[in-house]
């Protein structure tokens, strides 16, 4: 049985890792390579870096990818402005394992087809950004600035037919909202897709991740909420594993006997436990 993946989603704007709120407001976090290094050491399964200021434009950040890759031992996916097979080739040759394609699904669909033939479908993630309108969901490209007229299901089938190996579905309405994933959107896509679905947009606490698993997600991408709690991926995985979900538990940090609040932050142990811990030797963890 395949394990459920927890993916860190890093949004990069003008070389800085940022939080995104509704694809409109951006708050700075720090250097992307530092975020990659910490998330890698904290037990994340995969990392996706999206250069959002290049969306619908030109991918010209190839030299930066090597800085991320040298600090990353898990699969690394890169996206933003990929409009040709040459762009995909530069991304792979500089150390990425996967390529994330969004606007090219409309503007240059042969890019997806040719890249999938050259590198294999498993290396191509089709990113589909959606907004809800009066009649349902519609897909937007170019960083959420241009509506395509496609429904998510239509775009998912298009991406699959072109050779994409995974879909990443993002609710623009939920982005940065902390209100949880759009489960109706996820279920709509899952019902029509034969390839793995990654859900993104809105997660703020481990319970949101479990909701996505129960709704059919093979993987959950988390952006904003992983930047502010140390070991957040390991804590989230422990929460899910404790509830019977099949997670990869290979982090050196284990929290089997820890209590956490609803946002995955560790709560202080009771006085009796703290007193007992004084006499237990804890080996230093070397990463």
- Buried (b) or exposed (e) across 172-199, using 16+ Cβ within 10 A? bbbbbbeebbbbebbebbbeebebbbbb
Q: Which structure tokens are listed for 2?
A: 């395949």
Q: How far is CA 57 from the centre of its chain?
A: 21
For residue 225, give the DSSP letter. G
Beta strands in 120-275 (DSSP E): 124-133, 136-141, 146-147, 166-171, 197-200, 219-222
What is the DSSP track for 81-122? Answer: S--SHHHHHHHHHTT-SEEEESTHHHH-HHHHHHHHHHH-GG
Which pLDDT tens digits describe the chain residue by residue (287 residues)?
A: 689 999 999 999 999 999 999 999 999 999 999 999 999 988 999 999 999 999 888 889 998 999 999 999 999 999 999 999 999 999 999 999 999 999 999 999 999 999 999 999 999 999 999 999 888 999 999 999 999 999 999 999 999 999 999 999 999 999 999 999 999 999 999 998 999 999 999 999 999 999 999 999 999 999 888 887 778 898 899 889 989 999 998 877 666 666 676 666 666 666 776 677 667 776 766 65
The full set of domains in the chain, from first to last, is: 5-277 (3.20.20.70)
What is the DSSP track for 158-198? Answer: HHHHHT-SEEEEEETTTTT--S---HHHHHHHHTT-SS-EE
Tell me the C-alpha distance between 150 and 152, whole Å: 6
């Amino acid at each position: 049985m395949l394990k459920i993946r927890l993916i860190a989603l890093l949004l990069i704007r003008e070389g800085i890792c940022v939080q995104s709120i509704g694809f409109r407001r951006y708050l700075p976090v720090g250097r992307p390579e530092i975020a990659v290094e910490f998330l890698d050491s904290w037990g994340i399964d995969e990392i996706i870096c999206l250069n959002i200021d290049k969306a619908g434009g030109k991918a010209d950040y190839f030299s930066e990818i090597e800085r991320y890759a040298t600090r990353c031992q898990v699969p690394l996916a890169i996206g933003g402005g990929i409009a040709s097979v040459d762009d995909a080739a530069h991304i792979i040759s500089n150390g990425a394992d996967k390529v994330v394609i969004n606007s090219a699904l409309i503007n240059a669909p042969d890019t997806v087809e040719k890249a999938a033939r050259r590198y294999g479908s498993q290396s191509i993630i089709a990113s589909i950004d959606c907004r809800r309108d009066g009649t349902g969901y519609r897909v937007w490209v170019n960083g959420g600035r241009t509506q395509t007229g496609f429904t998510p299901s239509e775009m998912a089938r298009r991406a699959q037919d072109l050779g994409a190996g995974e879909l990443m579905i993002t609710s623009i309405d939920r982005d940065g909202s902390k209100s949880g994933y759009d489960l109706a959107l996820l279920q709509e896509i899952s019902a029509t897709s034969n390839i793995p679905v990654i859900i993104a947009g809105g997660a703020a606490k481990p319970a949101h991740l479990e909701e996505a698993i129960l709704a059919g997600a093979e993987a959950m991408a988390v952006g904003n909420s992983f930047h502010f709690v140390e070991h957040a991926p390991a804590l989230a995985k422990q929460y899910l594993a404790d509830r019977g979900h099949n997670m990869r538990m290979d982090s050196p940090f284990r929290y089997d006997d820890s209590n956490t609040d609803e946002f995955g932050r560790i709560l202080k142990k009771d006085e009796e436990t703290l007193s007992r811990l004084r006499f237990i030797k804890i080996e230093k963890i070397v990463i």
